[in-house]
Every structure is written in structure tokens, then in C-alpha cells.
């Protein structure tokens, strides 16, 4: 990672991304789009007015092969682009700060840091059956300035992340509270 | 509300009849493929640029790029294999 320079004595403790299950959810539309050309010839006969068009989906003809190839190429490339964006979004916990790297889209990247010494409160939120079973949750790190907060959505094992954050918060007069 | 039953529309292949005589359907498909591949190449270059710039140290960067190129070229070969016979 070259988005930020580690200070002397600083080291990366943990790097997390959104939970893989949430990413699978993002892939679902692409999977549905990919199977449409194979599903349509089987579905159309069930709708009599449209049944005659089922014969159009004959992938032994050159034009339809080209069409299917392009369809799948666009779908695959879009899915891979989604994976790229998923992978380039990350939260990095060092022994000094939390670095939030947001890759909204290509050529739109935001890197922000929250120093652990400023953290007043760390809150985890796990709500929902799947989230509880898979250990997916949110973490909110709040500073003294009420409008400054870091929210990490959909990270795996948020309690572990919270404990690590609290572990590396420097000792002081106002030790933050973990909820 | 229309009270007549729906009439089947003409399939898209019927549009090919309106093409000028000196342009074949195969040529149109071929040029459409080239345009799609050009967009694919541009998108892929931009994505690879991001992978290499921001995740060059990650072990997953190169396998991800290699997998993308392999699957994409396979799909391109499949798409082009049809046009060879037009």
C-alpha cells in the first residue's frame, strides 16, 4: 500500500474489507444477467405468444454465437470491475490510526485517517440473522468532535476489530469506551 | 385498453433485409465485435492500472488480472469463432 506513508514506529495491525458474503450479494445481478441467454429459450415456450422466439436462441449460428460471446464478455468484465472496486476498498488499522480507503469508482479515490488518540468511543452494531451467523457488522469510531466519526460497514468480526482498536488507543485521561 | 390479442413482432433478423447490398450482415457483426473489444480493452487497461497502482503489493493482484484476461480472451475467441463462418 502506497496510499499513505507509515510513520516511524508505525506498523499495520490489521487490514479488513467488506465481508465476502456481501460481495457475493453484489455479484448476484451479474450471475442472473449471465444466465438469461440460456434461460430464455427454456422459459419462452411457457408463454405461447412468445414461444416462436425460442428458436432464435440457437447458439450454433454465427451471429448468435457472437451475440452470446459479447453478452458474457460484458457481464464478466462488469463483475470483475465490481471485484476490483471491492478489493480496493479497505480499512487499515495501524498502531497509530485507522486509514479508510474508499474507491468509489475508477479515478475516484479517497484516503482518510483517524488517529487513535482522538477516538472517544467505539461502537459495534451487528443486526440481523445472517449478520449474526456470519459475524458481519458495523463499527463506528467517534471522536470528541461530534461530527467526526468513522463508520466501517459490513466488516467481518467487528468485535475483534473493536477490541484491536481499543487495544491500540493510547492510554490517557479519557480512555475510550467500547460498546 | 386494446381489445385485440397481441401480434407477434418481426424478429430482429428481419432488419437485415433493409441493409444496402454492398454491406453484409457479417461485416456489421464483425465491426460490432471490434467496437465492443475496443471498449473492453480500454476498461481493462484502466482496471489493471488501478490494480497495479494501489494493490501491487497484494498477492491477489496478478492472479486476478490473469484470470480476467484468460476468461475474456476465451469469450472473445468464442464470439469470433462464429464470425469466421459468415
β A177-178/A119-125 pair status: parallel
Output the pTM of the full model: 0.82
Nearest CA in chain A to B83: A62
Cβ contact, residue pair A76, B11, below 8 Å: no
Backbone angles phi, psi at A12, to 5 degrees: -80, 130
* pLDDT over threshold 80, residue B76: yes
pLDDT tens-digit series, residues B2-55: 676 666 666 666 666 776 777 777 778 778 888 999 999 999 999 999 999 887
- Check if A1 contacts B (Cβ < 8 Å): yes
Strand intervals (E) in chain A: 12-16, 90-94, 97-105, 108-115, 119-125, 136-143, 149-156, 177-178
Its sign, for the CA torsion A155, A159, A164, A165, is: positive
Backbone angles phi, psi at A176, to 5 degrees: -65, 160
Cβ contact, residue pair B46, A106, below 8 Å: yes
- Tell me which chain B residues have a C-beta less than 8 angstroms from the C-beta of A84: 47, 50-51, 64
Q: Tell me the CA distances in angstroms from B17 to A53, A58, A65, B21, one per residue in order.
A: 18, 20, 20, 9
Q: What is the ipTM of this complex?
A: 0.82
Q: Which CB contacts under 8 angstroms, 24+ apart, belong to B39-44?
A: B40/A73, B40/A74, B40/A77, B40/B72, B40/B76, B43/A77, B43/A81, B44/A77, B44/B68, B44/B69, B44/B72
**CA–CA separation, A51 and A104 (whole Å):** 43
pLDDT of chain A, 179 residues: tens digit per residue: 566 778 888 888 988 999 999 999 999 999 999 999 999 888 888 887 777 777 788 888 888 888 899 999 999 999 999 999 999 999 999 998 999 899 888 998 898 888 888 888 888 999 999 899 999 999 998 887 766 678 889 999 999 889 998 888 887 655 566 55
Backbone angles phi, psi at A138, to 5 degrees: -115, 155
Cβ contact, residue pair A73, B75, below 8 Å: yes
Cβ contact, residue pair A66, B83, below 8 Å: yes
Rg, chain B, Cα only: 21
B72: nearest CB among A68, A73, A83:
A73
**Chain A contacts in chain B segment 45-84 (CB below 8 A):** 46-47, 50-51, 54-58, 60, 64, 68, 71-72, 75-76, 78-84
Amino acid at each position: 500500500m502506497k496510499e499513505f506513508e507509515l510513520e516511524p514506529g508505525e506498523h499495520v495491525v490489521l487490514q479488513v474489507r467488506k465481508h465476502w458474503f456481501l460481495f457475493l450479494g453484489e455479484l448476484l445481478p451479474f450471475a442472473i444477467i449471465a444466465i438469461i441467454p440460456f434461460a430464455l429459450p427454456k422459459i419462452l415456450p411457457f408463454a405461447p405468444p412468445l414461444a416462436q422466439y425460442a428458436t432464435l436462441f440457437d447458439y450454433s449460428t454465427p451471429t448468435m454465437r457472437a451475440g452470446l460471446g459479447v453478452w458474457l464478455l460484458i457481464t464478466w468484465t462488469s463483475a470483475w470491475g465490481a471485484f476490483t472496486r471491492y478489493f480496493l476498498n479497505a480499512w487499515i488499522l495501524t498502531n497509530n490510526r485507522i486509514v479508510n480507503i474508499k474507491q468509489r469508482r475508477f479515478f475516484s479515490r479517497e484516503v482518510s485517517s483517524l488517529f487513535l488518540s482522538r477516538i472517544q468511543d467505539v461502537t459495534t452494531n451487528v443486526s440481523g440473522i445472517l449478520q449474526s451467523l456470519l459475524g458481519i457488522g458495523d463499527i463506528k469510531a467517534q471522536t470528541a468532535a461530534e461530527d467526526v466519526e468513522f463508520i466501517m460497514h459490513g466488516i467481518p468480526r467487528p468485535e475483534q476489530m473493536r477490541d484491536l482498536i481499543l487495544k491500540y488507543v493510547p492510554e490517557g485521561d479519557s480512555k475510550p469506551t467500547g460498546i | 385498453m386494446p381489445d385485440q390479442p397481441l401480434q407477434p413482432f418481426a424478429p430482429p433478423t428481419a432488419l437485415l433485409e433493409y441493409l444496402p447490398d454492398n454491406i453484409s450482415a457479417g461485416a456489421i457483426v464483425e465491426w460490432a465485435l471490434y467496437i465492443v473489444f475496443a471498449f473492453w480493452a480500454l476498461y481493462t487497461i484502466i482496471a489493471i492500472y488501478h490494480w497495479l497502482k494501489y494493490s501491487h503489493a497484494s498477492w491477489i493482484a496478478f492472479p486476478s488480472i490473469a484470470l480476467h484476461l484468460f476468461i475474456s480472451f476465451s469469450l472473445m475467441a468464442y464470439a469470433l469463432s462464429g464470425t469466421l463462418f459468415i
